[in-house]
Amino acid sequence: MPTKPLDRLLFVQGGLCFFCKQPLPRDSASIEHLLAIAKGGANGDDNCVACCKTVNTLLGSMSIKQKFEVVLNQKGHFRCPNNTGHLPPKPIAPTAPTPIVVAPKPVVASPTLPKSAKPTPPKPTAASAPKKVDRFAMVVANLKTRGNSRPRTLKTLTTTVTALFPKGISKAEVAAIVRHLQATGKVKVEGEKVAYQL
Ligand SMILES: [Zn+2]
């Protein structure tokens, strides 16, 4: 246990000023008598705190009541006067790492070139439209070759068109082709019966 009163008080206070709770170097520290000796205060640890010299000077021989007032007026964020000596200059450090994190992003920007190449996918969609035309042309060509063996009903026509696409075709697509056959006048539907004009 430190024997000198100031060392003892600093040890008990964890090396911090009693009032502002900032790290308190021994050469900036002094002993404050809460109840001033001039007012009958004792010299023991019960009446003494280690604090910044500046606040000790300020409090001087104030009454306990006045000292309470000074402390309470700080509203829990007590800063000893002119205690810049042991203020940590930390705030500058955190800002530096962030630009380094931002820096890699421009590297990610190079993938934007492939992205600009992605607008090319419209080409496949443009190709899919010809596909439908191709399907329609395929159906017409197939019906032409059938001659008299063409499907006679709407139902068999649908089945025939579906069978032309062994890799799979949706009912909606088949229906669209049949509608298009009618729209182009190549097929005439009367009730369930189908007539051709290919
Ligand atoms: Zn202090």
CA of 57 to the centre of ligand 1 (A): 11
CA of 8 to the centre of ligand 1 (A): 17
What is 124-196's CATH number, 3.40.50.300, 1.10.10.10, 1.10.3720.10, 3.30.420.40?
1.10.10.10
Listed in order, the ranges of the chain carrying CATH 1.10.30 are: 5-90
CA of 70 to the centre of ligand 1 (A): 13
Listed in order, the ranges of the chain carrying CATH 1.10.10.10 are: 124-196
Q: For residue 79, which of 89, 88, 71 has the smallest C-alpha distance?
A: 71
CA of 23 to the centre of ligand 1 (A): 8
Q: What pLDDT, on the 0 to 100 scale, is given for residue 77?
A: 87
The maximal CA–CA distance of the chain, rounded, in angstroms, is 129
CATH class of 5-90: mainly alpha
Distance CA 57, CA 133 (A): 96
CA of 69 to the centre of ligand 1 (A): 16
Q: What pLDDT, on the 0 to 100 scale, is given for residue 12?
A: 96
pLDDT more than 70, % of the chain? 73
Query: What residues does 23 pair with on adjacent strands?
Result: 16
Tens digit of each residue's pLDDT (9 = 90 or more) over 104-136: 555 555 555 555 555 555 555 544 555 666 888
- Cβ partners under 8 Å of residue 16, min gap 6: 22, 23, 24
CA of 94 to the centre of ligand 1 (A): 25
